[in-house]
Structure 1
Amino acid sequence: MTTPLALSVLDLIPVRSNQTSADAVAASVALAKRADELGYRRYWVAEHHNMASVASTNPPVLIGILAASTGRIRVGSGGVMLPNHSPLVVAEQFAILEAAFPGRIDLGIGRAPGSDPVITSFLRSSGAVSEVDAFPNNVQDIAALLHPDGAALRLTSGQEYGLHATPRAASTAELWLLGSSDYSANLAAKLGLPYVFAHHFSGDSTNHALERYRTNFKPSDAGPAPRTFLTLNVSVAETAEEAHALALPQLHSMARLRTGQPMLPLATVEEAAATELTPAQDQLVRGMIERWVIGTPADAASRIRALADAVDVDEVMVVPGASAHTTDAPPSAPGRVRAIELLAEQLLG
């Protein structure tokens, strides 16, 4: 018997060469609405800074926009890059979101900065404690602050000062730990938190990380057993040729990033087709094509199902990596919308 498979969406809110940031956000709002209608489980937005091709810089603000524009789907962060933020501020942001949209908010937390060192230095408010040392305590602080019982600070006088995220929501945002290494897998297991491995950009170690997480998991208030799912880059269209054409701009963009080139606004399909890559970039693109799911609905669904079975998950979060044609309206992303529609027809019924 085939295990039912849930689908979710991870959105970086790409900005095409013919779009403003407002256009890109409008396109993502439309995509989230369609995912809600189709029965997708979650819609998460990432945190990246100082990239001309990405508008997803502030997950809490975007989550508020997306949750207000949808009615059922869970909306969350994939993730908030915790080294950039005060744990109390993050807890307060997600407490107000949960209060406004009860039972629909996910707080995914990551350890990476999501930017270059200069921008990171402007974002961070941490003191002399290193990122690696501070991260586990900060995650636990957020969990405690979101809990109705709150947390307490030990003052220099020896007294305790009670804290809790305000306003106090009737329910609690669901806390997830994100990562792409053994470190995050081990920490999620130790804290008994749900965990997501970033398969969409670090797929070689997925099985190993999930095995460590499941083997070392300690039950907690967050859950009695391990919970995880798979993230995956996809480009799906009626024909394999169109799916590859739609994916090429994003593949080019990632190849530029990995060869030290600036992140320009995302090319259109026509612009990417006319672009010549360096040999190193071409090799990177070929490697990414092997890891992405690119093709017709039936082929894509088959590969997604096989990957889910291989890592033993019942949910897949897709990153719809399709660009658009030059003639497509700027506030729209028809290739991305069509991709999630085609996958829903195959996998959600």
Structure 2
Amino acid sequence: MSQPVAPALSVLDLVPVRADQGTGDAIAATLSLARVADRLGYRRYWIAEHHNMPAVAATNPPVLAAMVGSATERIRVGSGGVMLPNHAPLVVAEQFALLEAAFPGRVDLGIGRAPGTDPVTSWALRAGAGGVEADAVDRFPDHVDNVLAMMSAEGAALRLASGDHVLRATPKASSVPTIWLLGSSDYSARLAASRGLPYVFAHHFSGRGTAEALALYRSQYQPSAENPLPRTFLTVNAVVAPTREEALRLALPNVRSMVALRTGQPLRAAQLVEDAEAEALAPAHEAMAEEMLRRWVVGTPEEASTQLRSLAAEFGVDEVMVSPVAGAVRGTAVDRSPAREQTLELLAEAFA
């Protein structure tokens, strides 16, 4: 029996910060990883948005996407995603219109509704300077429409007492980014379907509800001029190494970080592998850690290839975006993430 068709591969990056790194080191490691992905033929490279987390430096996707675009030649760059309620729609539209002008035909704007942070930081982002209204989450559909309009050649008309004032994200757009809606519930699936937009469910984050969300999106999809058919792909956490034992060892720091996040423990920079091994996991959290690993793709290139092909076939997608979550051993160069690069290299070889 032949294997399922190989999906295209892409990368999701949170710009992780290890205990032995500063922020600049983490950014340097991300640029090295992006160059690897570009060289190996990965389709796109997305940066997530998170705030006030010691282990994550991806606070500003458009700034990081500009760095990645400048460091690469062909791979698509973008956000996975920009958390729109944290920002004024015009600011987001301007940022990504400029990215598209700099890297025409290579830019994706992935938009999410979640805060990507704790409630206090969320307040500081949205209302700390009086800039973004407090009900930004409730107005998410309107803000998506505004971003779409502002990046178009026609712009968005703002009705004032003195007449209509047209807002454009860029003076002279020759092309626009591809806009995707992201989500971890059926809310964004319904919204993307109603707007005729591409949609991605955060399978890497929850691992539950993916089939239901994609079925809802596909069944309710309203074709648009830009997207006559529904478009989606799958996101998966991955650690690939020459042996399964090594892959499981390299996954350990990220597993510990995720357990801490979900159990309300203090957050810290990602541990080195040796430190994670030396620190016992609380018995009450062992089942959670094991469940996470079952949802991730962790193993040899052959195991990972088989699992990714099966997932793509199961959910009916032709692309899988992997978040390479391999940790680092003591003595690793601070400006590199060799185990993350190895994950991309071994996957590319397995799919060649």
- Category of TM-score, reference length = shorter chain: over 0.9
Q: Which residue of 2 is the match for residue 85 of structure 1?
A: 87
The question of 1:237 aligning with 2:272 is answered no
Question: Which residues of structure 2 form unaligned runs of 5+?
Answer: none
Matched-pair contact (CA < 8 Å) for 1:64–1:97: yes
Matched-pair contact (CA < 8 Å) for 1:237–1:297: yes
Amino acid at match of 2:141: P
Match of 2:112 among 110, 120, 127: 110
The question of 1:184 aligning with 2:188 is answered yes
Residues 165-204 of structure 1: pairs in structure 2 closer than 5 A: 165-204=169-208
Question: Which residues of structure 1 form unaligned runs of 5+?
Answer: none
Match of 2:149 among 144, 147, 150: 144
Matched-pair contact (CA < 8 Å) for 2:85–2:136: no
Q: Distance between the aligned counterparts of 1:331 and 1:22, measured in 2? A: 8
The question of 1:10 aligning with 2:12 is answered yes
SS at match of 1:121: helix
**1:98 CA drift (Å):** 0.5
SS at match of 1:114: coil
Matched-pair contact (CA < 8 Å) for 2:197–2:230: yes
Matched-pair contact (CA < 8 Å) for 1:99–1:167: no
Q: Distance between the aligned counterparts of 1:311 and 1:277, measured in 2? A: 33
Q: Which residue of 2 is the match for residue 129 of structure 1?
A: 135
Q: Distance between the aligned counterparts of 1:114 and 1:257, measured in 2? A: 12
**1:327 CA drift (Å):** 1.3
Q: Distance between the aligned counterparts of 1:172 and 1:54, measured in 2? A: 29
Q: Which residue of 1 is the match for residue 318 of structure 2?
A: 314
User: Deviation string for 1:44-76 (max 9, x for gaps)?
Assistant: 000000000001100010000000000000000
**1:281 CA drift (Å):** 2.2
Match of 1:287 among 274, 284, 291: 291
**1:128 CA drift (Å):** 4.8
The question of 1:273 aligning with 2:277 is answered yes
The question of 1:344 aligning with 2:340 is answered no
Q: Which residue of 1 is the match for residue 328 of structure 2?
A: 324
Q: Which residue of 2 is the match for residue 47 of structure 1?
A: 49
Identity %: 57
Match of 2:338 among 328, 331, 334: 334
**1:221 CA drift (Å):** 2.8
Amino acid at match of 1:226: P
SS at match of 2:208: helix
| TM-score relative to the length of structure 1 | 0.97
SS at match of 1:106: strand
**1:4 CA drift (Å):** 4.4
**1:204 CA drift (Å):** 1.3
Amino acid at match of 2:133: G
| TM-score relative to the length of structure 2 | 0.96
Q: Distance between the aligned counterparts of 1:127 and 1:333, measured in 2? A: 39
Q: Distance between the aligned counterparts of 1:155 and 1:341, measured in 2? A: 55
SS at match of 1:204: coil
**1:130 CA drift (Å):** 5.0
**1:35 CA drift (Å):** 0.2
Amino acid at match of 2:238: V
SS at match of 2:305: helix
> How many pairs are equivalent?
346
- Give runs of ≥4 in structure 1 deviating > 4 Å: none
Q: Distance between the aligned counterparts of 1:169 and 1:94, measured in 2? A: 11
Q: Distance between the aligned counterparts of 2:270 and 2:136, measured in 1? A: 34
Q: Distance between the aligned counterparts of 1:325 and 1:275, measured in 2? A: 15
User: Deviation string for 1:130-174 (max 9, x for gaps)?
Assistant: 512x000000100011111111001134x1111111243311011
Matched-pair contact (CA < 8 Å) for 2:6–2:309: no
Q: Distance between the aligned counterparts of 2:48 and 2:211, measured in 1? A: 23
User: Deviation string for 1:94-125 (max 9, x for gaps)?
Assistant: 01110011001100000001111111111113
**1:92 CA drift (Å):** 0.3
Matched-pair contact (CA < 8 Å) for 1:92–1:167: no
